[in-house]
Amino acid sequence: MSTLPVNRVDSLPADALPPGGGLASPTPVRWGDGALVGLFAIALIGLLKAASAVLVPISAALVLTFVFAPVVRRLRRHGIHEAAGAGIVVVALIATTLLAFSSLAGPATQWWERAPTTLAQLMDRFDHLRIGSRNEGQRETGGPIPPARSGAASATPPQALPSDSIKEQLATEGVALTRVVIGRLLFFCVSAAATVILLYFLLASEHWVVSRSVEAIPRRRSRALFLGGLRSVQREISHFLSSLALVNFGVGLAMIVATWWLGLPNPVLWGTVSGALNFIPYLGPIIASALLLMAGIVTFDTLPAMMAPAAALLIVHGIESNFISPFFVGKRLSLSPVSMCLSVMCWGWLWGMAGAVMAVPILVAARAVCKRRRSLRLWHVYMEGSVRPASSLRALLRGKHRAETQRLA
């Protein structure tokens, strides 16, 4: 047999090389597949963004179906048909929501009517605090303090001109702001009506849809996996949201008591706002604290009293997030803080406030799906929170090297 030159091996066909020897050809990198995946992801994000008016009611109805479907099944076991049970659940949900809105409509309308005046008062308070701090600094450094002007000059200080222009701008743009609010309110009403109607049909036909879906799967093992995964997602979302609702109800009650004790008007409104915004991780308490801070600045005169309502919310939220929520939610449903923050940011950017509210239920469902799929276990690790301390990288590398050595031996 003639020996082939080494530099001519690359020119040989693949079948000319021996099966167990020769040069191993590298696996080609399929850039086309990666580009298709990237284009598909971009198109999917664009679709989620463009079709938010349709997808938000559907997603909200699905999340609520996961929460209330066990109630309908329990009613069915007691002899109540699915349609009647779904009607009972939907009517109870609508009645509770309307009762809450009717009790809060009066205080919310008062604060909304006072919004231009409130903003003007905030500007005046900030100007007063800024001028007072500047004069105090000049007293401490021994610098000259500008004397107070008399007559017409003192009646119209230079600092009043920006505030007057802002007040005029707020007055001229009030009609446009009201038009935008009315448009948003009409859109919210239409989306809420679509969500309620779809929720009723999903609850009434949940058993039929699940049974037909299981029947369409040919293999018995696949049927068991599908039904087990669906019930797992439903159970985890229901338990998580019910526990979170109970915790946020306690936050609302605590803020009602705190704002009433501090003397802030409409304590029921502020407690409800604090409890409702607490459904949004991280961003919700920040927004509620900012609102309470503005209400305190408008209502009170001293700096400690102005900051007291926002400080009370931060204290209540700290106790809730560190002690109460871990006890009620449990370690089994704990989520990674990074994954929760990213989920709120992404879904809030896609669907606004509704997406931020549904970000955590969507994350819980995605984690349950990744937990049952072996190919997605790595994503489940990133989504799941854990109190167990992570091993050092050196120990992990040493363990990997030891396992590789044992495998080769």
d(CA 95, CA 184): 22
pLDDT of residue 90: 96
Distances from the Cα of 112 to the Cα of 173, 178, 181, angstroms: 15, 10, 11
pLDDT digits (tens, 9 = 90+) for 172-205: 555 566 677 787 888 888 999 999 999 999 999 9
Angstrom distance (rounded) from CA 334 to CA 380: 12
Contact 359, 244 (CB under 8 A): no
CA gap 290, 152 in Å, rounded: 37
The reported pLDDT for the residue numbered 135 is: 59
Q: What is residue 180's predicted lDDT score, i.e. its pLDDT?
A: 74
- Quote the pLDDT of residue 8: 46
Tell me what pLDDT residue 159 has. Answer: 47
Q: Is 151 left (phi over 0), alpha (psi -120 to 50) or beta?
A: left
End-to-end CA gap in the chain: 35
Amino acid at 283: L
CA distance 331 to 295: 37
CA atoms within 13 A on the CB side of 213: 14
Q: What is the pLDDT at residue 85?
A: 93
Instruction: Supply the pLDDT for residue 117.
Output: 66
Strand partners, 384: 335
- pLDDT digit string (tens) for the chain, length 409 residues: 444 444 444 444 544 444 544 444 445 546 566 788 888 889 999 999 999 999 999 999 999 999 999 899 999 999 999 999 999 999 999 999 999 888 887 777 777 666 666 666 667 766 666 666 665 555 555 555 555 444 444 444 444 445 456 555 555 555 566 677 787 888 888 999 999 999 999 999 988 988 888 888 888 888 888 888 888 888 888 888 888 899 999 999 999 999 999 999 889 999 999 999 999 888 899 999 999 998 888 888 888 998 999 999 999 999 998 888 877 776 556 788 888 889 999 999 999 888 998 998 899 888 888 888 888 888 888 888 765 666 777 777 776 555 555 554 5
Q: Which of 205, 198, 124, 204 is nearest to 167 (CA)?
A: 124
Domain ranges of the chain: 50-128+171-216
What is the SS3 assignment for 79?
coil
Burial 302-326 (b: 16+ CB within 10 A, else e): eeeebbbbbbbbbebbeebbeeebe
